[in-house]
Amino acid sequence: MKYFFEPAGIALIGASGTPSKGGHSILYNVKKGFRGHIYPVNPRYSELLGIPCYPSIFDVPDPVDLAIIFIPASLVPQMVRDCASRGIPGVIVESGGFAETGESGKALQDELKQIRMETGIRIWGPNCMGVVDAVRKYIFSFLTPSVWDYGPLPGNVSMIVQSGMLAGGFLIDAMSHGVMGISKALSIGNKVDVEECELLEYLIDDPDTKAIALYLESIPNGSRFMNICKMSPKPIVVLKGGKSQDGARAAMSHTASMAGNGAIISSALTQSGAIEAHDFKQMMDISRALATFPDIHSGATGRTAILTFSGGAGIVSADFLNEQGLTVAHLSETTQQKLRTVFPEWMPVSNPIDLWPAVEQHGGQKTYQTAMTAVSQDPNIDVILLHLYSGGFALNFDMEPMMEEVRKAGKPVFAWLLGDRDNAGKTQNMLQDMGIPVYRELYRAVECIQAVFERSRWVKHVGNQKTEWHRLQLTHPVVNVVKNAKGVLDEHLSKQFLQSAGIPVVAEAVVNSLEDAVKIAGELTFPVVMKGLIQGMVHKSEHQLVHLHLNSEADVTTAFDALSSVIGNQDKILLQKQLGGRAELIVGMTRDVQFGPCVMCGMGGVLAEAIQDKVFLVAPFGIKEALYMIDRLKSRCILNGFRGEAPLDRHLLADILVRVGQIAGSYPGIQEMDINPLIIENGRPVAVDASILLD
């Protein structure tokens, strides 16, 4: 990849002398910052911008190891072949007009893939903005030359963006507003060859990059992408476009209908330690926060001190922190004593720490410095949320002295800034030069704090590890049924298979007569459940095939007669022990086009699809990953003990999830699987219904 980022010489095919054309912008940008050899290629010119221009790529002298192509799409394939013949190892195709335009463009893109296979030349793009390296001042792109009016401003966040114009918009917006600098911005377009996984690996090794942000519309190699994220020592933030499209094929199982492209992608990112963003600027704000604070102490949980000039802003901050799963820190007695030295006698000390009355008495410098020193030394505090106003109200003061104590303590500081435009802009730049990320929206500041501590939690509880497949070798007779059958396996056979894999299932038996039913009900002890199993039917409750709360022989007789009248000769009546647990889960498995086998865990029962509280785990995974993802369920408080019931044995649930993932890897003929519900009885999850869909 080195010749894309550090070429010795660049040929610009399609360079132009017309300022309004992209070929002119590329040449201007390369000439402005690149310190190697530059070779414009266009038979209509003898020189451009004072540089000799060549009629063809074969006339270009050495050294040249990168070509940037910006010509009509129909001419691109032959030009790439010519570059390969010339011995150029890599090309960036910035021209549009390929697969994004329809069938004719797709044919051109397919031709580029074929050229790549035949010649070995590396192809970046097509339909992309190219490469921007703000640290080296390399702009290999048609990005508007006005970018030089603001920079390019170097920073420590690198971007991989699938949209060319979006990448350009990011750069101009961030640099012109002074929000942040960039290390590298890489627009990959249609990804005919060079794609996000390869560039991720490059940026992970790049010393100028501290955090990586990606906007992607597709992740064709989901497993590789996840493994790179898992093993990355650098924080990764991902904004995925197109999640609202239904990514799961229509299927009979709850799992597939609850999957959707977005649900699996969101869970896959969380599982692999990446932070998911939901907006473009949010992606960049979170990235710079993580670049500033990539390694929070593993014991820190996000206990926050709020230093504010407004009681109302403090209250709203506390609300936002609570919403994001963070806590307002309890101030130590030592901290309270230090704050009392500047607080008015009538004012109690509490967190949020309203500093305005103290500012009125002692001024902003003394008040804020006292408060910052106190909270930075407080062992109960992990992070400081600082509210600032710039431009008046006695709130202009020197931040540098008070930051010394904060740096010594290693406490991260996030600032929310208000003020008049000119003063606030200066203050923002000053604070960011000190290593304090500044936000103009309070909620965004809290979101970024949450992202930093969520990354820290993942590192602590999961860590950088890659899980290998563990293949199961099951010996139960039902395994042969699974290998040879097609379609939906009935509930009883499905649970026999699960039990053979070590997953706990309810005590049950198939009954062939009323006498069998009465006898087995007595052995199971009342209450019991009776079900009718009709071949191919999954959702029995909707067809009145489930009879609950059978407490006597009379109840068993009534249920058996009712079911016998509706099931056929090839169908079954199943009798089960009725479990007493009230909390229900659903566990399932589906196969995703991008990520492969995915195991789902969520709140279950007949309302599983309506509740939609679930997480997915991409197999293979281990116990630590399973426990971490279980804790992402919104209704997880129910699992801690529901209405006096014993709390869920989470390790046992995690073990069940791991085993379902192992089943998926060991038996590729299983396309989907549902265990619904998985009832929690005395803290132990037990499968009481299940279905397996075979291909």
pLDDT along the chain (695 residues), means of 10: 95 96 96 97 96 97 97 98 98 94 94 98 95 95 87 90 72 74 92 96 97 90 94 95 54 42 89 95 94 85 96 97 96 97 95 95 93 96 95 79 86 94 87 92 97 94 88 91 90 96 96 95 96 85 89 96 86 93 91 93 75 90 96 87 84 98 96 94 94 93
Return the pLDDT at 607. 60
pLDDT of residue 244: 65
8 A C-beta contact, residue 691 and residue 674: yes
Distance CA 579, CA 582 (A): 9
For the chain, give every residue range classified as CATH 3.30.1490.20: 507-577
Answer positive or negative: Cα dihedral of 356, 310, 283, 181. Answer: negative
- pLDDT (0 to 100) of residue 258: 45
Residues 6+ apart with CB under 8 A from 18: 24
- What pLDDT is recorded for position 250? 34
| CATH topology (fold) of 296-461 | Rossmann fold (3.40.50)
Task: State the Cα–Cα distance between residues 423 and 235, nearest whole angstrom.
Answer: 32
pLDDT at 164: 62
Cross-strand partners of 489: 692
d(CA 188, CA 160): 7
What's residue 167's pLDDT?
A: 66
Please, what CATH class does the domain formed by 2-241 belong to?
alpha beta
Q: What confidence score (pLDDT) does residue 394 get?
A: 67
Q: How far apart are CA 117 and CA 33, in angstroms?
A: 33
The segment(s) of the chain belonging to CATH 3.40.50.720 are 2-241
pLDDT the model gives residue 537: 79
C-beta of residue 673 within 8 angstroms of C-beta of residue 589: yes
Looking at 485-525, list the stretches that DSSP marks H as alpha helix, in order from N- to C-terminal side.
Answer: 491-500, 514-524
pLDDT score, position 259: 43
Express the helix, strand and coil content of the chain in percent, nearest 5 each: 40, 20, 35
What does the pLDDT look like over 606-656, one tens digit per residue?
A: 666 667 789 999 999 999 999 999 999 988 888 888 677 889 999 999 999
> Whole-angstrom Cα distance, residue 476 to residue 496?
8
Torsion of CA 564, 567, 572, 578, to 10 degrees: -60
Q: Where in the chain is the domain with CATH 3.40.50.261?
A: 296-461
CATH number of 507-577: 3.30.1490.20
Q: Look at the domain 464-506+580-695 and name its fold.
A: D-amino Acid Aminotransferase; Chain A, domain 1 (3.30.470)
**Interstrand relation of 614-618 and 596-603 (parallel, antiparallel or unpaired):** antiparallel
Question: In angstroms, what CA-CA distances link 433 with 252, 427, 428?
Answer: 56, 10, 9
Where do you find CATH 3.30.470.20 in the chain?
464-506+580-695
